[in-house]
């Protein structure tokens, strides 16, 4: 049913999602969360774990839905309460603060917009850290920078709980289909404990060692993606300007060495100036900004990503923040290039 591939110290566990869903039974799941300062809790006792989910945006909602559909005992919270309602209708419980979610659950996942919101929800006034403690775990699946992840890790660990960072590769559709890729780092014990839940929401998971490595991996991946999308945008517009059919360009690319699913998925709608949001442009620009900080921290030049970041900033300034990141092409259209040069 599963295969284990060892790549040096990185271990990739692959489980076909359907196989996982058919074999996962939370009623027979034993919770083993321990660290140096705590004894294993409920070890050997078949306890249905209570799972919390904080942050029900584009990604958090389908991830939480998949947990509910798999039979997980789920408690949700979101800053805008109305986004909890569809999940409550599916059977989720609700608590009015991250603190109360963490206090009432064994494991708490968080899927927040950016570093500031991740810190606020984890460490703020009624944040999860106030309700968490020994025998519990906190899994932050948001895309944040290394320092933010380490800050949250330190505060969560100081309560006696365990911490795992687990940002995801894959967008809205993979989230809906339970096909995300988890880039995890932190407490290995917690990683092992949450693996069945990651396998409900995703198709693969990487354990990358110390806290910060998951955040860094995610930022490198999204740095590449942001630059690819900017370059693709230039190609689409250039092809059109020289009298080529951009639809044919998309087809040519799809058959060659630079083929990527992203181009085939986003190209046709970009040609029609249509950007249905899967990954908001503001989040792609946030990731490029954070990747630039990461590169700065080790004096690594990333001029292509720096140039791409400027384009996303232009697109944001013209109102495309909440559209899909493929709307970066708008920043290259003459109307905006002209106004930027004035």
Binding site for ligand NDP (CB under 6 A): 55-60, 78-80, 83, 111-114, 117, 120-121, 142-143, 168, 171-172, 278-280, 283
Of 37 and 80, CB closest to ligand NDP:
80
Beta bridge partners of 324: 280
| Contact pattern from residue 254 through residue 283 relative to ligand SSN, giving x for each residue in contact according to CB under 6 A and a dash for the rest | -------------------------x----
Measured CA to CA, the distance from residue 192 to residue 320 in angstroms comes to 40
Token pair belonging to 288? 């490029």
Of 222 and 239, CB closest to ligand SSN:
222
- Residues in the interface with ligand SSN (CB under 6 A) total 6
Residue 237: contacted member of ligand SSN, ligand NDP, none (CB under 5 to 8 Å, by partner type) = none
Measured CA to CA, the distance from residue 335 to residue 340 in angstroms comes to 9
Q: Answer yes or no: 203 catalytic.
A: no
Phi, psi of 54, deg, nearest 5: -110, 120
Q: Is 2 exposed, middle or buried (0-12, 13-18, 19+ CB in 10 A)?
A: exposed
Q: Measured between alpha carbons, how far is residue 198 from residues 58, 107, 190 in Å?
A: 18, 12, 11
Of 106 and 165, CB closest to ligand NDP:
165
DSSP conformation class of 318: T
CB 122 within 8 A of CB 129: yes
Residue 255 CB, shortest distance to ligand SSN, in Å, is 21
Name the one range near ligand SSN by CB under 6 A: 48-56, 85-93, 166-174, 243-251.
Answer: 166-174
Of 192 and 322, CB closest to ligand NDP:
322
Pick the closest to residue 63 from 83, 33, 82 (CA basis): 83
Residue 79: contacted member of ligand NDP, ligand SSN, none (CB under 5 to 8 Å, by partner type) = ligand NDP
- The active-site residue out of 95, 150, 218, 266 is 218
- By the rule CB under 6 A, 75 interacts with ligand SSN: no
Q: Which helix (H) or strand (E) holds 107?
A: strand 107-110
In the complex, residue closest to ligand SSN by CB: 171
Chosen residue from 213, 222, 285, 326 binding ligand SSN by CB under 6 A: 222
Q: How many residues does the chain have?
A: 342
Measured CA to CA, the distance from residue 100 to residue 77 in angstroms comes to 9
Binding residues for ligand SSN (CB under 6 A): 143, 169-171, 222, 279
Catalytic residues: 218
């Amino acid at each position: 049913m599963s295969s284990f591939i060892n790549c040096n110290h990185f271990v990739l566990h692959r489980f076909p999602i359907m196989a996982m869903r058919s074999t996962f039974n939370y009623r027979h799941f034993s919770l083993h969360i321990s660290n140096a300062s705590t004894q294993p809790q409920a070890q050997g006792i078949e306890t249905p774990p209570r799972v919390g989910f904080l942050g029900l945006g584009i990604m958090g909602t389908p991830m939480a839905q998949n947990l509910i559909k798999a039979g997980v005992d789920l408690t949700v919270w979101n800053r805008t309460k109305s986004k909890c309602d569809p999940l409550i209708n599916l059977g989720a419980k609700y608590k009015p603060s991250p603190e109360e979610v963490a206090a009432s659950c064994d494991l708490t996942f968080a899927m927040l917009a950016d570093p500031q919101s991740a810190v606020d929800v984890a460490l703020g006034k009624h944040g999860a850290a106030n309700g968490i403690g020994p025998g519990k775990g906190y899994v932050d699946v948001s895309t944040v920078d290394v320092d933010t992840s380490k800050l949250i890790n330190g505060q969560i660990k100081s309560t006696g709980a365990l911490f795992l960072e687990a940002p995801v590769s894959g967008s809205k559709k993979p989230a809906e289909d339970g096909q995300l890729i988890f880039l995890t780092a932190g407490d290995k014990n917690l990683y092992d404990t949450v693996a069945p839940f990651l396998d409900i929401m995703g198709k693969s998971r990487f354990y990358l060692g110390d806290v910060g490595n998951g955040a860094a991996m995610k930022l490198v991946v999204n740095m590449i993606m942001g630059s690819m999308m900017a370059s693709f945008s230039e190609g689409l517009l250039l092809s059109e300007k020289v009298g080529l059919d951009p639809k044919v360009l998309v087809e040519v690319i799809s058959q060659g060495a630079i083929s990527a699913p992203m181009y085939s998925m986003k190209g046709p709608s970009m040609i029609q100036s249509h950007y249905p949001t899967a990954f908001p442009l503001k989040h792609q620009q946030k990731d490029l900004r954070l990747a630039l900080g990461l590169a700065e921290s080790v004096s690594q030049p990333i001029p292509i990503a720096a140039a791409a970041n400027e384009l996303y900033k232009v697109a944001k300034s013209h109102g495309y923040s909440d559209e899909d990141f493929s709307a970066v092409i708008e920043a290259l259209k003459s109307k905006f290039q002209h106004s930027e040069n004035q």
